Amino acid sequence: MPRILMVEDDAQITELLETYLGRYGLEVMSVDRPSVALDKLRVEQYDLALLDLGLPEMDGLELCKLLKKQYPQMPVIISTARHDVSDKVVAFEIGADDYIAKPYDPRELVARIQMILKRYSQLSSPEEASVFAVDPVKMQITQEGQVLDLTQAEYEIFALLLQKRHQVVSREFIAGSVDAMRWESSDRSIDVIVSRIRHKIGDDPKDPRYIRSVRGVGYKYIGA
Ligand code: CA
pLDDT at 177: 82
Look at strands 3-7 and 48-52 and give their pairing: parallel
Residue 60 CA to ligand 1 centre (angstroms): 9
The SS3 assignment for 148 reads coil
| DSSP 8-state secondary structure symbol assigned to residue 43 | H
State in Å: Cα 99 to ligand 1 middle.
15
Quick one: pLDDT at residue 90?
A: 81
Gap between the Cα atoms of 190 and 217, Å rounded: 12
Contacting residues for 150 by C-beta, under 8 A, at least 6 apart: 140, 141, 158, 197, 200
Q: How far is the CA of 143 from the centre of ligand 1 (A)?
A: 41
Relative to beta strand 211-214, strand 218-221 is antiparallel
Q: How confident is residue 146, by pLDDT bands cut at 50, 70 and 90?
A: very high
**Distance from the alpha carbon of residue 57 to the mean position of ligand 1, in angstroms:** 11
Q: Express each pLDDT in 5-31 by its tens digit.
A: 999 999 998 998 999 999 998 999 999
Tell me how far the alpha carbon of residue 23 lies from the centroid of ligand 1, in angstroms: 24
pLDDT at 188: 75
- Please tell me the distance between residue 55's alpha carbon and the centre of ligand 1 in angstroms: 5
Choice between 121 and 200, residue whose per-residue pLDDT is larger: 200
Under the banding of pLDDT at 50, 70 and 90, the label for residue 123 is low
Q: Calculate how far, in angstroms, residue 53's C-alpha sits from the geometric centre of ligand 1.
A: 6
Output the CA 79–ligand 1 centroid distance in Å: 9
Segment 57-114, tens digit of pLDDT: 998 999 999 999 899 889 999 988 767 778 878 888 888 999 898 888 889 999 999 9
For residue range 32-59, what is the model confidence (pLDDT) as tens digits? 999 999 999 999 999 999 999 889 999 8
* Higher pLDDT among residues 82 and 198, named by residue: 198
pLDDT in tens, 183-196: 665 667 899 999 99
Domains and CATH numbers, the chain: 3-123 (3.40.50.2300), 132-221 (1.10.10.10)
Ligand 1 mean position, distance from CA 103 (Å): 12
Cα(54) to ligand 1 centroid in Å equals 4
Residues around ligand 1, an ion, CB closer than 5 A: 9, 52, 54
Looking at the whole model, is its pTM more than 0.75? no
For 181, which DSSP code?
Answer: G
Distance 72 CA to ligand 1 centre (A): 24
* pLDDT at position 221: 94
Report the Cα–Cα distance between both ends of the chain, in Å, rounded. Answer: 21
State the average pLDDT over residues 205-219.
92
Quote the ligand 1 centre to 6 CA distance (angstroms).
12
Distance, CA 147 to ligand 1 centroid (Å)?
41
